[in-house]
Amino acid sequence: MAKEKEGKVEKRGRPATKKMTKKEKAAAEKALQQQQETPKPNVADEELLPPPAPTEQKEEKEEEEEEIDDEVEAMPSKSIGREETKALLDTFDEETLNRYEAFRRAHLPKATMRKVVANLVGPVPASVAIVVSGVGKVFVGEMVESALEIMDEWGHTGPITPEHLREAFRRYQKERGLIKNKNYTRQIFA
């Protein structure tokens, strides 16, 4: 039952093996030994893998942002203790205490701030919205404080009016060099 296939004789379904001479065995052993002794290049697994697909990169980026958000939320806040806060609040007069309570209650909605920032720079993590909300609250506080000073300068009493807020904002821009020319007009099409 021998079959002839491509010049080799097969017996019982197995290919016929050729006996190696001593020289051939020695050469094969030497080649195998050289392969084992040759140092393999130190290639990182990442270099061997194809670059990740854009969706994988997006998912990895979102996971990193979520991890950062979790880390920021887990950070301990360094604030004064309850006793120190109580002692400070006891020194406030009634008007100052009312203003402080109003300041503590006031906030800029984080979802709204996130949308505003996303419209300007693209998608942002929740931590950025929290920071922008806090900075916005400080900015509004500065504007109100400046508007109160303007009211005193002008001799006005009562609530703050839009006129006072506009003047406060104008002075803010002037102090920081945001307005270069008094007759400055915005160019719609540049």
Q: Spell out the domain ranges in the chain.
A: 83-180
Residue 6 confidence (pLDDT) above 50: no
Using CA atoms, how far residue 67 sits from 61, 74, 122, 135, 164, in Å, is 10, 10, 19, 23, 44
Q: 150, 164 in Cβ contact below 8 A?
A: yes
What's the confidence (pLDDT) of residue 58?
63
Q: With CA atoms as reference, report the closest residue to 128 among 58, 68, 75, 78.
A: 68
Name residues whose C-beta falls within 8 Å of residue 173's C-beta, 6 or more positions apart in sequence: 179
Query: pLDDT, tens digit, for every residue of 20-75?
Result: 677 777 777 777 776 666 555 555 555 555 555 556 666 776 677 667 666 656 66
What's the confidence (pLDDT) of residue 119?
93
Query: pLDDT, tens digit, for every residue of 106-156?
Result: 888 888 989 989 999 998 888 888 999 999 999 998 999 999 999 999 999
Residue 175 confidence (pLDDT) above 70: yes
Query: How many angstroms separate the CA atoms of 142 and 145, rounded?
Result: 5
Q: What is the DSSP letter of 188?
A: S
Instruction: Specify the CATH architecture of the domain 83-180.
Output: Orthogonal Bundle (1.10)
Q: What is the DSSP letter of 1?
A: -
| Residues found in the chain | 190
For residue 5, the cross-strand partners are 8
Q: What is the DSSP letter of 6?
A: T
- Strand, coil or helix: 8: strand
What's the confidence (pLDDT) of residue 184?
57
